Structure 1
Amino acid sequence: MRRTAAALATVLTAGLAAGVPPAAAAEPSTCGTPADHQIADVQGSGTASPLTGRTVRVEGIVTADFQRPDQLKGFFIQDPTPDRDPRTSDGLFVYSTEEVAPGDRVLVTGTAVEYNGLTELSPVSAVDVCGTGRIAPARVRLPLRDGVDAPGVPPLERYEGMLLRFGQRLTATEVYRLGRYGEVTVSAGGRLFQPTDGHGSTQAGNDARRLLVDDGSNVQNPDTIPYTDPRVLRIGDSAYGLTGVLGHGFGEYRLEPTRTVRFAATDPRPEKPRHVGGDVRVASFNTLNWFTTLNRRGADTAEEQERQLTKLAAALKGLDADVVGLMEVENNGDTAVRAIVDRLNRDAGAATYAWVRHPYPGTDEIHVALIYRPAKVTPVGAARSAQDPVFDRPPLVQTFRPASGGTAFTMIVNHFKSKGCGGATGPDRDQGDGQGCYNARRVAQAEAIGALAAESENPLVVGDLNAYTAEDPVKVLTGAGLVSQTQRFVRPGERYSYVFDGQSGELDHALAGGSLSRRVTGATIWHVNSDEPVFLDYNTEYNPPRFYRPDAFRSSDHDPVLLGLDLR
């Protein structure tokens, strides 16, 4: 028999008339009809319910309500009399919009099923509200204790459907899907670093430290983006006491908060790069597909293109560098790079910046480019490149001398083959060592650049090498006598320029020959992009207009690298 709130009032009145104490009448210890299974029986000790396809009747306390059409269309319940098996969860999702509220004691009849990896009751034939109760959240810490679950069962499975509280500090380590799905990934012990970036992490260790925090909804592009008021969440911000129920969907366990999550600004925005000194400043910047041709790899519309160019110009002005190597510029002659220079000169004054014409840009849709300030440096000789077929995007090589006189140096601008696996064969296939596809190609490219640097005057190798610090291509370059300047000057916790799958790492490098290295006065990575959510970028689709700003933040997906040189 279904008991609504009105029915409970009738029971209470009858109970008082019969002399039954109010607490016993209003808050019975069990529902009138007994459950035929405990929630732990439905969950089982594996990843799937042992009762899949069977109709069951369970009793529990409602711990979370996500019944609205823009939410999960259901609610979570938890057994107030759990079993003593640590392998079996005592919580369960009920796919039903029968009205309930947190704290209700309910008797639910429905079919046990697995949906997107989540054990739930669906369809549901009856939801009887028969009292009230309270469930205290289980206190857990990441990483979870090993040795509890059966082999092959993920550690979080033991808590699926349960109300949890993480009492430790958890740090935002991925915000890529924040605007699109309302998701943020947090991790214990600070942000996660790529295992091949030399920070001592492992993939298994990273996976054990991470947790996906959702917004209780499967809706794409939610009207209200979580954690954006009064400021937008950045990777590196942190929260304490995350509390919610643990669900599962789209291949991941996900915490659906039941209390407001408040992130502290523990990674404040760097409004300007750190001081690097020197009399000549040099930078490297991946522009994230700056195209003047619309609807290709960059902007789709003239409005987006203007927004993109405005942000790129803001980043370049913020760097205030005298020479900048650029990656992912459209390979359409000088048109795309000229547009950048024209915008900078419009704001800074005519002829403030110029560009170096690439003598052999290759046939890829994108190429590397080089801009500079003629008042600060003067090109020495003609620009060079390499026609070695190992390069998908040939390097750009140019020697400069300070305009006021001093030591010359040679910029070697690169964009190595990406880690994507399209078309990879033989040694270019993923070797399972964490370096992704085409590592053999990148190694060969690094060897060619090392040889090119050896015959150049005071070489400075910069660019997106698509290789993290502890990977083979970077080792090849350092083995050739080049010295990483970010390794010298940037603290380990800040030594990253890109975030992929919630793991930070350094793809963008600056390596100097031995003699030039002694003239480097400082180096920094300006974190204006990798820590920021993508809905701040220039795109108009999916991005709420109120978040766009004509500033450097999320001007790209890579952070720029900046160096100071003492060439006097």
Structure 2
Amino acid sequence: MASQSVTRLAALTVATACSAASLVVLGPPAHADSVRIHDIQGTTRISPYAGRQVADVPGIVTGVRDQGSSRGFWFQDPRPDADPATSEGVFVFTSSAPQVAVGDAVTVSGTVSEFVPGGTASGNQSLTEITRPTVTVVSHGNPVPAPVVVSARSVPRAYAPAGDADAGGSVNALPLRPGRYALDYYESLEGMNVQVADARVVGASDPYTELWVTVRPGENASPRGGTVYGSYEAQNTGRLQVQTLGEPAGFPAADVGDTLAGATTGPLDYNQFGGYTLVARTLGTLTAGGLARETTREQRRDELSVATYNVENLDPSDGTFAAHAEAIVRNLRSPDIVSLEEIQDDNGAVDDGTVTAGVTVGKLIDAIVAAGGPRYDWRSVDPLDKADGGEPGGNIRQAFLFDPRRVSFTDRPGGDAVTATGVVKARGKAALTHSPGRIDPANPAWRNSRKPLAGEFAFRGRTVFVIANHFASKGGDQGLTSAYQPPARSSETQRHLQATAVNTFVKEILAVEKNADVIALGDINDFEFSGTTRRLEAGGALWSAVRSLPPGERYSYVYQGNSQVLDQILVSPSIRRGGHLSYDSVHINAEFHDQISDHDPQVLRYRP
């Protein structure tokens, strides 16, 4: 996550700077006797005055942002029109700390701009701004226009209109229908003073002083207070990001299920990392929901327990080893086999050609012993330097931990970064040619991405094939609040190829041994209802066991207030048919502000 943090801050700075530098004047000034804020905002997402100068536009300042790279203020017309599609507020981009205060009556002259956070390639909607402003303060201490209350009643259930096919799926030119679509409703309030009351937290506070709330707490609710993303048609309209105009030190440390009691009030912004965002002048009081980290049950003597856990760029310099060990021992109850994702090399992000990870894994194993767990053994395959993506210099890979008191590993040497493991018949059963080994590492599907790690285990005399995966990330996908509806998911093209490669390998095992026990697991970076999962399951070779859980409990990750599945454990037909399968998504990270990873581990137990 560290590399993502740097990228995020850099992107915000560059995008904001570009918005100020690329403006042109296309026409003469439009004066205040004919132009007010609602005229500038218009009835679509694009201002009819974009690129034009406006003069002496009146309003009351409702919020001031005097820190960061996007400095400016919001102001709002106290004399609204009668059209619900036209916003009465707009952001004024000053680039330096603005010399106004909340409650000032001002007139603003400048150029109307449509700024796309993240750049046009992101697919994000644009934010209407007045840039290069000249601001005149007319008076001080005026009442701020009353906030529009955003509530379960006011937000439509339908999420967004279908984009105009003739415009590449864009919704920009479509007339806003705020009574019909949630995204149109939020757009009709862009820049205005809004309020949510007693809003439940559905996305924990993050290092950027952000959290997510919902104004529709009953919408696809999880038993733990979150909002579950269960299909591409259930985007969850009640979600809003919340930031603050106050000091970051005063931002609440909130977990999912907490509540911002009372009123949270401020301008409605649109940004690159969350879409529509309430930038609060006043925050509600945090009321704890009492969410506790989960603990799964211990496996029985005749049950094999297999877990997947993304430990988020773990390297020897991290201070999280004891916490991860405690999670594995206490919360996961020391699984027999643990597939670890995002194990970094022995010096982390130092880019000096190091690819070994014995120090990293050894430090975790020692911490597990210190926490009262077993002394795990481990297997992995070192990647080629800088070939598998992830944090530059980190050389992340998957690794198996296994408890040698309970399971044994079948070593067949020869597997390395570029050598593919295969499937042969030995004594009438399937066997790997290399264990541990990589699946088809030369396949273009794995370009700049982690290659699957396959291993052959034995439990109580039964062979179990385990395939550890970390598929390509969702980077580059358009967001749910995109200007293109439905949004494009370009990153899934590579994951589809990866899923097909894994599915083909599993079918090779099953072609040799029809009833072989095969488990494919890891950070799939895609949903249980996705095309990626369908390709993994193709032909009945695998089945995603997260579907054995009730729909409200199917999640391992929280993104923009949506609790969703990214981590999965898929099993072959023999395991599913056995009838003794138990699955648990163990919620210890994703819902909490003090998480040690952004993923929740998954545990499967079954009797071979």
TM-score higher than 0.5 here?
Answer: yes
Partner Cα separation in structure 1 for residue 470 and residue 64 of structure 2: 47
Partner Cα separation in structure 1 for residue 579 and residue 375 of structure 2: 24
The runs of 5 or more residues in structure 1 that have no matched partner are: 1-33, 293-303, 423-429, 537-552
1:89-117 per-residue CA deviation (whole Å, 9 max, x = no partner) reads: 22244558445443x5x252533533743
Q: Residue 324 and residue 72 in structure 1: after superposition, are their counterparts in 2 closer, same or farther (change >3 A)? A: closer
Q: Residue 167 and residue 144 in structure 1: after superposition, are their counterparts in 2 closer, same or farther (change >3 A)? A: farther
Q: Is 1:443 the equivalent of 2:500?
A: yes
Paired residues, number: 468
Q: Residue 494 of structure 2 aligns to which amino acid in structure 1? A: C
* Secondary structure, counterpart of 1:224 in structure 2: helix
Q: Residue 278 and residue 519 in structure 1: after superposition, are their counterparts in 2 closer, same or farther (change >3 A)? A: farther
Offset of 1:439 from its aligned partner? 1.5
Partner Cα separation in structure 2 for residue 513 and residue 171 of structure 1: 38
Q: Is 1:136 the equivalent of 2:146?
A: yes
Larger Rg computed on CA atoms: 1
Q: Is 1:510 the equivalent of 2:569?
A: yes
Partner Cα separation in structure 2 for residue 72 and residue 476 of structure 1: 43
Q: Is 1:561 the equivalent of 2:561?
A: no
Q: Residue 314 of structure 2 aligns to which amino acid in structure 1? A: W
1:289-339 per-residue CA deviation (whole Å, 9 max, x = no partner) reads: 3344xxxxxxxxxxx33x032232222222222322222334526444333
Within the candidate set 312, 319, 323, 2:337 is matched to 323
Corresponding position of 1:224: 249
Partner Cα separation in structure 2 for residue 51 and residue 438 of structure 1: 39
Corresponding position of 2:110: 111
Partner Cα separation in structure 2 for residue 188 and residue 134 of structure 1: 23
Corresponding position of 2:459: 401
Within the candidate set 584, 590, 593, 1:524 is matched to 584
Q: Is 1:199 the equivalent of 2:220?
A: no
Partner Cα separation in structure 2 for residue 310 and residue 150 of structure 1: 54
Partner Cα separation in structure 1 for residue 396 and residue 69 of structure 2: 42
* Secondary structure, counterpart of 1:159 in structure 2: coil
Q: Are the counterparts in 1 of residues 204 and 212 from structure 2 also a CA contact under 8 Å? A: yes
Partner Cα separation in structure 2 for residue 362 and residue 450 of structure 1: 25
Corresponding position of 1:17: none
Q: Are the counterparts in 2 of residues 212 and 254 from structure 1 also a CA contact under 8 Å? A: yes
Q: Are the counterparts in 1 of residues 502 and 536 from structure 2 also a CA contact under 8 Å? A: no
Corresponding position of 1:15: none
Partner Cα separation in structure 2 for residue 174 and residue 451 of structure 1: 43
* Secondary structure, counterpart of 1:442 in structure 2: helix
The runs of 5 or more residues in structure 2 that have no matched partner are: 1-31, 116-126, 162-170, 177-182, 222-227, 346-354, 389-394, 413-434, 477-486
Corresponding position of 2:43: 45
1:468-505 per-residue CA deviation (whole Å, 9 max, x = no partner) reads: 212344334444344433221x3322212234555443
Offset of 1:367 from its aligned partner? 3.4
Offset of 1:167 from its aligned partner? 5.3
Partner Cα separation in structure 2 for residue 225 and residue 133 of structure 1: 25
Within the candidate set 493, 503, 525, 2:552 is matched to 493
Q: Residue 507 and residue 160 in structure 1: after superposition, are their counterparts in 2 closer, same or farther (change >3 A)? A: closer
Q: Are the counterparts in 2 of residues 276 and 522 from structure 1 also a CA contact under 8 Å? A: no
Q: Residue 408 and residue 50 in structure 1: after superposition, are their counterparts in 2 closer, same or farther (change >3 A)? A: same
Corresponding position of 2:207: 179
Partner Cα separation in structure 2 for residue 388 and residue 200 of structure 1: 31
Offset of 1:565 from its aligned partner? 3.4
Q: Are the counterparts in 1 of residues 322 and 368 from structure 2 also a CA contact under 8 Å? A: no
Offset of 1:127 from its aligned partner? 0.8
1:177-230 per-residue CA deviation (whole Å, 9 max, x = no partner) reads: x323x233444545889xxx982333xx5285443322237xxxx6516222xx
Moved more, 556-565 or 248-257: 248-257
Q: Are the counterparts in 2 of residues 284 and 463 from structure 1 also a CA contact under 8 Å? A: yes
Alignment of 1:140-289 (within 5 A): 140=150, 141-143=154-156, 151=174, 155=184, 156-166=186-196, 169=199, 171-173=201-203, 175=205, 178-180=206-208, 182-189=209-216, 199-202=230-233, 206=235, 208-216=237-245, 223-224=248-249, 226-228=251-253, 233-235=254-256, 237-239=258-260, 242-250=264-272, 252-266=275-289, 268-270=291-293, 272-275=294-297, 277-279=299-301, 280=303, 281-289=305-313
Q: Percent identity?
A: 23
Partner Cα separation in structure 1 for residue 360 and residue 140 of structure 2: 69
Partner Cα separation in structure 1 for residue 197 and residue 363 of structure 2: 51
* Secondary structure, counterpart of 1:439 in structure 2: helix
Q: Is 1:412 the equivalent of 2:443?
A: no
Q: Are the counterparts in 2 of residues 60 and 77 from structure 1 also a CA contact under 8 Å? A: yes
1:535-561 per-residue CA deviation (whole Å, 9 max, x = no partner) reads: x4xxxxxxxxxxxxxxxx32x232211
Offset of 1:374 from its aligned partner? 2.8
Offset of 1:168 from its aligned partner? 7.9
Alignment of 1:10-49 (within 5 A): 37-46=35-44, 47-48=46-47
Corresponding position of 2:77: 79
1:335-378 per-residue CA deviation (whole Å, 9 max, x = no partner) reads: 443332233234438xx3231444x6554534332222233334
Partner Cα separation in structure 2 for residue 315 and residue 443 of structure 1: 33
Corresponding position of 2:523: 464
* Secondary structure, counterpart of 2:499 in structure 1: helix
CA RMSD of aligned residues (A): 4.0
Partner Cα separation in structure 2 for residue 69 and residue 473 of structure 1: 42
Partner Cα separation in structure 2 for residue 257 and residue 381 of structure 1: 58
Offset of 1:461 from its aligned partner? 3.0
Q: Residue 449 and residue 45 in structure 1: after superposition, are their counterparts in 2 closer, same or farther (change >3 A)? A: same
Q: Residue 59 and residue 467 in structure 1: after superposition, are their counterparts in 2 closer, same or farther (change >3 A)? A: closer
Partner Cα separation in structure 1 for residue 300 and residue 277 of structure 2: 48
